[in-house]
Amino acid sequence: MARPILEVSHFRKSYGAHVAVRDLSLAVAPGEICGFIGHNGAGKTTLIRSVVGAQPPTSGTVRVCGRDVWREPVAAKRLMAYVPDNPDVYDFLTGMQYLDLIADVFGVGAEERRRRAGELAARLELADALGEPVSAYSHGMRQKLVLTGALLHDPALLVLDEPFVGLDPSASHELKAILRERADAGGAVFFSSHVLEVVERLCDTVAVIRRGELVASGPTDEVRGSASLEDVFLELVDEKDDFVVARRTR
Amino acid sequence: MTSHSRGRALVPLLSLQARSLLYGLGVRRGRGRARLLGAAALVVLLAAVAVGYLWALGSSMVAAGAAGAIPALAALAGSLAAVALVFVKAPGTVFGCRDYDLVAALPVPVRTVVLARTAPLYGFGVALSALLSAPLYAAYFTSAPASPAAVSTAAAVSVLAPLAPAAVATLVSLVLTSVAVRFRHAGAVQLALSALLVVAVVAGSLALGRASSGVDDAAALAAMGDVAGALSSAVASAYPPAAWEAAAVREGSLAGLLAFAALSLALPVVVTLALAARYPSVNAVATAGPRRRARPAATSRGAMSPLRALTVKELRRIGSMPFYALNDCAGLLLMVAAAVAIALFGVDALLASGVVDGARLDAQAVAAMRAQIDAALPWVFGFCGAMSLTAGPSVSLEARASWLMLTAPVGAGTVLGSKLLANVTLGGVAAAASAVALLAGGTAPLVVLQCVVAAVGMLTGFASVALAIDASRPNLSWTSPSEVVKRGLPVMVGSIGGVLASFGLALLSVTAAGALGPAASAVVNLAAPAACALGGLAFLRAVARRGLPGPGWGE
């Protein structure tokens, strides 16, 4: 089996006395798209922010292509890209200025960035807006811009937090195609989502988190069994939650 | 909806404004009480200084026989303060508000919504006017009969005076905002207009300084009285209500008072109703983006190093935020203005002219203090450099976009270095322009070198300190940039520390010049800023080595 692109081992994150994520381990191999699902406040964004180097874990390790994100941050970050749930970028730049900034920071050459930015912006129908200031962009356009920037340096690992929120149907369709292409090319994709139908159709593996604990993970077909992912998710999430069970059976 | 229910809706909306103000001051769920007390203490201190200054001014005018001009001056002072406040705060408070959609969707009459926005603004204007007018009238009544009617009239006009100008300022501010937002670089347009205003004020005060030079203090005050009297007449002819107000205070004219009160109350009401009647359109024009034109397809520029790309980004941010640029680059503008003034008139002539506050030396005294003057001159530039800290709030200004900085494959040293480099670049350009002006004006090259070293050294040192503090404990959840640009701890510590250090080192240099000669002061002027820069850089490096995010990043 190929060495995983993303390896999270015994990850724990606490804020004072509150433990947000406890002893979580998972891996995403090359060619895999992994869906990360859980209810609101389960700890998805906490883990994702630590994976991309935005927030240190309390204990445990995160490795990307064997590089420890918190010991070799620059080398690890060079191998991945992040699309946050809220695509807040610098309002004072135009779309192209933003892409140039990202390309410079990730060391993408002039010719390569021109080609890739052109291709990606055309696919996401953003090309005509790249000369406009980001302040004039809608949420969906910002999402497309951040996504374009994330793919400029051809990352081995793409990490996305709720990437389908705010995208129009055609951009959403295009994003799914892009994610599949990246996996087929040997990259890895790790994303969180509440849209279980998309996760079920798109992802090779899924990981389910509940109150900071991983309650299921593995190939999508195995986790789902003969039921739908939605049914399995509700069962897993409700299993230890009497209040929710009582509410669902009312 | 009944007036009772309208009133019930007004109270929570006003309470929302008050909560927004407290949140803006950094008060969060019981935390920030010390900050609130600190802000209150600062307000009291500033108020005391303003009251003391205006009392002294009023007393001087009475002594110079210009008491008759005080009522006009009081009205003018209060009105100008209110107008300035409204100009700055109306965009974002009355129109162009972030929460427009939310309040527009509330089941509350639009009139109530607008009233909840204008009333606190005008209320602050009234309070400011009362505060500024009180000491002037107190001085006025030492020479005029203080009958109960006259005092009551003065109190009433102090409260009423700013209302009509503030209402007009609201409309003018709306017009200017709606014009500025039409430009692609709206921030730069506002910056240019603000810079023009600053230049006009500086030129005006210089002209007044030159006009009053060579006369004694009593004559200068009498001239000021004449100016105020002439101003009073001019204001009265251009703005008849000022004549009604003056007649009410000086002659006890009831008709004048009633007319002034009617206008002062009617105009804000009319403006509030007019804004309410067209509120959606008003917000649309105040938030409209630049007119869309067909642009050629955007093309990528050539590649840059990460440090250079991040530095360019920082410079773009400064250029796009006039409020930020004006607060943190004012010292650089002053630096160039000082160098140009020295080049045009010479230090000696400036010191002899009385333009420099507190210093009016004759030619003999200037010649006798040549060594001390040369020793102190570089610290004018050191002072200007030390108060120009764009790097101070720059980590906090990343705010919700901080994820970009945190996930970029560059070290904390590069991220923080780019912010410092942008600051030093601006300071370097200003110092270079100043050096060229000084050399062209005939200042000795060694003194020019000291000026440049003082400016760049103090800026580098204190910008590094401020940046290190901001990187250690950034405020990424501000609601208004003024929270970090004006009231942030890094900027306060950096700029106040820099200014105090400049004064201290200037004193040391002057003392060294007097005791040991010009060579000793030159050593101080070259070594102290360099040491300051190195110390600041060492502090910043220590913070950068810990990496980002570090302790204190909101966890």
pLDDT digits (tens, 9 = 90+) for B259-292: 889 999 999 999 999 988 888 877 777 766 655 5
pLDDT band at residue B18 under the 50/70/90 scheme: confident
- Within a domain: residue B299? no
Chain B residues within 8 A of A134 when measuring between CB atoms: none
pLDDT band at residue B74 under the 50/70/90 scheme: confident
Continuous segment of H or E residues that includes residue A68: strand A67-68
Write down the mean pLDDT value for chain B: 82
Mapped onto helix, strand or coil, the DSSP state of residue B258 is helix
* CA dist B338 → B152, B191, B324, B334, B521 (Å): 46, 21, 22, 6, 21
Whether residue B40 is predicted with pLDDT greater than 50 in this model: the reply is yes
Rounded to a whole number, what is the distance in Å from the CA of B477 to chain A's nearest CA?
13
* Mean pLDDT value across residues B535-548: 94
Rounded to a whole number, what is the distance in Å from the CA of A111 to chain B's nearest CA?
8
What is the rounded distance in angstroms from the CA atom of residue A172 to the CA atom of residue B42? 53
Look-up of token digits 């929570």: B12
Query: Cβ separation of B297 and A127 shorter than 8 Å?
Result: yes
Same-domain check for residues B17 and B124: yes
Cβ-in-10-Å burial (0-12, 13-18, 19+) of B473 comes to middle
Q: Residues of B near A (CB-CB distance < 8 A)?
A: 184, 187, 289-290, 292, 295-306, 308-310, 312-313, 316-317, 319-321, 399-401, 403-404, 406-411, 547, 549, 555
- pLDDT at site A243: 46
Lowest-confidence region among A49-63, B77-91, B181-195, B520-534:
B181-195
A56 contact B CB<8A: yes
- pLDDT at site B190: 61
Chain B residues within 8 A of A111 when measuring between CB atoms: none
pTM: 0.74
Lowest-confidence region among A116-125, B33-42, B127-136, B302-311:
B33-42
* Mean pLDDT value across residues B513-518: 91
Lowest-confidence region among A160-169, A195-204, B37-46:
B37-46
Rounded to a whole number, what is the distance in Å from the CA of B425 to chain A's nearest CA?
19
Whether residue B186 is predicted with pLDDT greater than 60 in this model: the reply is yes
Query: Which of B407, B418, B545 best probes binding to A when mutated, by most A CB atoms within 10 angstroms?
Result: B407
Same-domain check for residues B274 and B386: no
Same-domain check for residues B418 and B507: yes
The 10s digit of each residue's pLDDT in B426-478 is 999 999 999 999 999 999 999 999 999 999 999 999 999 999 999 998 988 88
Chain B residues within 8 A of A52 when measuring between CB atoms: 403, 406-407
Chain A residues within 8 A of B184 when measuring between CB atoms: 133
- pLDDT at site B222: 58
Whether residue A250 is predicted with pLDDT greater than 50 in this model: the reply is no
Chain A residues within 8 A of B410 when measuring between CB atoms: 74, 105
Tokens of A105: 């920071």
Same-domain check for residues B325 and B262: no
Chain A residues within 8 A of B299 when measuring between CB atoms: 96, 114
Same-domain check for residues B283 and B369: no
Query: Cβ separation of B407 and A88 shorter than 8 Å?
Result: no
Chain A residues within 8 A of B549 when measuring between CB atoms: 54-56
User: A6-79+156-249 architecture in CATH?
Assistant: 3-Layer(aba) Sandwich (3.40)
What is the rounded distance in angstroms from the CA atom of residue A220 to the CA atom of residue B478? 42
- Within a domain: residue B296? no
Same-domain check for residues B219 and B144: yes
What does the radius of gyration of chain B's CA atoms come to, in whole angstroms?
A: 26
A77 contact B CB<8A: yes
Same-domain check for residues B232 and B334: no
Q: By C-alpha distance, which of A243, A196, A192 is closest to A42? A: A192
Query: Cβ separation of A105 and B305 shorter than 8 Å?
Result: no
- pLDDT at site B385: 96
What is the rounded distance in angstroms from the CA atom of residue B201 to the CA atom of residue B80? 13
Residue among B187, B298, B300 minimizing CB distance to A113: B300
Residue among B289, B296, B410 minimizing CB distance to A136: B289
Residues 6+ apart with CB under 8 A from B107: none
- pLDDT at site B223: 59
Whether residue B359 is predicted with pLDDT greater than 70 in this model: the reply is no
Residue in chain B closest to A54 (alpha carbons) equals B406
- pLDDT at site A106: 94
The domain locations on chain A are: 6-79+156-249, 89-154
Please indicate whether residue B219 or residue A125 has the higher confidence score (pLDDT): A125
- Within a domain: residue B163? yes
What is the rounded distance in angstroms from the CA atom of residue B503 to the CA atom of residue B123? 39
- Chain A (135-174) residues lying within 8 Å, Cβ to Cβ, of chain B: 135-136
From B253, B287, B321, give the residue that closes a domain.
B287
* CA dist A129 → A84, A93, A97, A122 (Å): 21, 12, 12, 11
Query: Cβ separation of A96 and B401 shorter than 8 Å?
Result: no
- Within a domain: residue B301? no
- pLDDT at site B87: 76
* Mean pLDDT value across residues B191-213: 54
- Within a domain: residue B74? yes
Ramachandran class of A107: left when φ > 0, alpha when ψ lies in -120 to 50, beta otherwise: left
A43 contact B CB<8A: no
Same-domain check for residues B88 and B143: yes
- pLDDT at site B414: 96
The 10s digit of each residue's pLDDT in A176-195 is 999 999 999 999 999 999 98
H helix and E strand count, chain B: 23, 0
Chain A residues within 8 A of B309 when measuring between CB atoms: 100-101, 104-105
What is the rounded distance in angstroms from the CA atom of residue B337 to the CA atom of residue B430? 10
Range of the domain at B432: 306-546
Same-domain check for residues B190 and B230: yes
Tell me what ipTM this predicted complex has. Answer: 0.87
- pLDDT at site B214: 43
The 10s digit of each residue's pLDDT in B225-252 is 565 566 566 656 656 777 788 788 888 8
Phi first, then psi, for residue A21 (nearest 5°) are -140, 135
Tally of structural domains, chain B: 2
Same-domain check for residues B204 and B135: yes
* Mean pLDDT value across residues B360-378: 82
* CA dist B11 → B98, B117, B275 (Å): 20, 12, 20
Write down the mean pLDDT value for chain A: 90
Query: Cβ separation of B313 and A93 shorter than 8 Å?
Result: yes
Same-domain check for residues B323 and B282: no
- pLDDT at site B504: 95
**B83, B166 in Cβ contact below 8 A?**
yes
* Mean pLDDT value across residues B527-546: 96
Tokens of A198: 């998309």
- Within a domain: residue B218? yes
Continuous segment of H or E residues that includes residue A193: none
Same-domain check for residues B282 and B318: no
The 10s digit of each residue's pLDDT in B221-230 is 555 556 556 6
